[in-house]
Amino acid sequence: MLDVAVRRNGYGRQIASFEASIESPGRPRSRRLHQSPKIERCGEDVEVLALYDHGDGEHPVLVRQGSAWGCSFHPN
């Protein structure tokens, strides 16, 4: 459904849980990133809607391809 490659627990285990302010379309808010997959590659048709820099460069955390969406955070 989504042309992406992810790494399981890419932001660390639950003990390394953190919250971060992530700008997403029309909704800047704090999002919880823990035990989350890190999106490491996106295909050409994948639209990146939000990025997060965890100290090793910016990584997509919200993506869309057609009607399919994917996120690397708990959308509370």
What domain count does the chain have?
1
Half-sphere exposure of 37 (CA within 13 A, CB side): 12
Read off the pTM.
Answer: 0.75
Domain of 33, in residue numbers = 4-71
Q: What is the pLDDT along the chain (76 residues), one digit of tens a residue?
A: 899 998 887 777 767 666 777 766 665 565 655 557 888 899 999 999 888 887 788 889 889 999 999 988 765 5
- The answer to whether position 23 is within a domain reads yes
Q: Which residues of 15-51 are buried (b: 16+ CB within 10 A; e: fewer)?
A: eeeeeeebebeeeeeebebbbbbbbeebeeebeebbe
- The answer to whether position 76 is within a domain reads no
- The answer to whether position 34 is within a domain reads yes
